[in-house]
Amino acid sequence: MKTLSLIIFFFVNITCKESTTVYICNSPGAKKYHNSSNCRGLSNCTYKIVKVDIEQAKKDGKTLCAWEK
Ligand SMILES: [Zn+2]
């Protein structure tokens, strides 16, 4: 049953968002993920901007950027 509730959790999460792909700044100190690659929070990223799955970003301990809340 635990697996089932996890699946439901992810499903709800996915349907609430339009995309499951987010953008992160590939710097060692980056703690945020971004829904938009044009986000102003990414504009001062001096590292590479990479696309990752939102679940992966969350697993890495990243949270949604403050500009997009
Ligand atoms: Zn952002």
Contact present, 40 and 11 (Cβ < 8 Å):
no
Domain boundaries, the chain: 19-68
Taking alpha carbons only, the member of 2, 10, 1 closest to residue 58 is 10
| CA 5 to ligand 1 center in whole angstroms | 29
Residue 12, pLDDT > 60, answer: yes
Could you give the count of Cα atoms lying within 13 Å of 2 in the half-sphere of its Cβ? Answer: 0
Q: pLDDT band at 9, cuts 50/70/90? A: confident
- Averaged pLDDT of the chain: 86
Q: Looking at residue 58, what is its pLDDT?
A: 96
39-65: per-residue pLDDT in tens?
A: 999 998 999 999 999 999 999 999 999
Find where tokens 């971004």 sit. 34
| CA 64 to ligand 1 center in whole angstroms | 7
| CA 36 to ligand 1 center in whole angstroms | 6
